[in-house]
Amino acid sequence: MKRIVIFASGSGSNAENIIKYFQTSKDAEVTHVLSNNKHAKVFDRCEHLNIEASLFDKESFTKEDTVLNFLQVEADIIVLAGFLRKIPSKIIEAFPNKIINIHPALLPKYGGKGMYGMNVHKAVKNNNDTETGITIHYVNENYDEGTIIFQAKTTLNSEDTPESIAKKVQLLEYKHFPRVIETVILKNG
């Protein structure tokens, strides 16, 4: 049974979706959620779902080895679900091709520092794009530049707002993210 540790910074809707998906899996389970935001709603979701969740600070993530040591004991694969911090290189090196992120656009478009959530959807709208989607990719040392694992698209029209674009993208996230994580786990044994 592979152990999944999720990093989340916000509401945790993707984390909850992933946790529920793997509750009946024979191959993997979510064992822990880590967050850098003490106000993150993901803590409430984890309590409701009976999943351990822990808060960590910047020092234990970037300068000390506290988070790295925890992951080396507790994780086979790491999933970023709305996590906004850059992953330190020491963690990337310890988990090569075992850290998966989801981005709310079709990379390489609308990627990089500061491009997350509504910032992405506003950029898509401002550029009058006719489609957008999700990109699931491995994490490397640069924001949103890791090898792409999977993309899914949705069509847009002129009436779409950043909010309606966000809803369309979220549906793709819920549908595909857990399945792609499972595929990666099965492929990598």
Catalytic residues: 103
Which residues in 86-100 are b (16+ Cβ under 10 Å) and which e? ebbeebbebbeebbb
Place of tokens 């850098």: 36
Beta bridge partners of 51: none
Give CA–CA dist 169/154, Å, rounded: 7
Helix (H) and strand (E) counts in the chain:
7, 7
DSSP 119-184: HHHHHHHHTT-SEEEEEEEE--SSTT-SPEEEEEEEE--TT--HHHHHHHHHHHHHHHHHHHHHHH
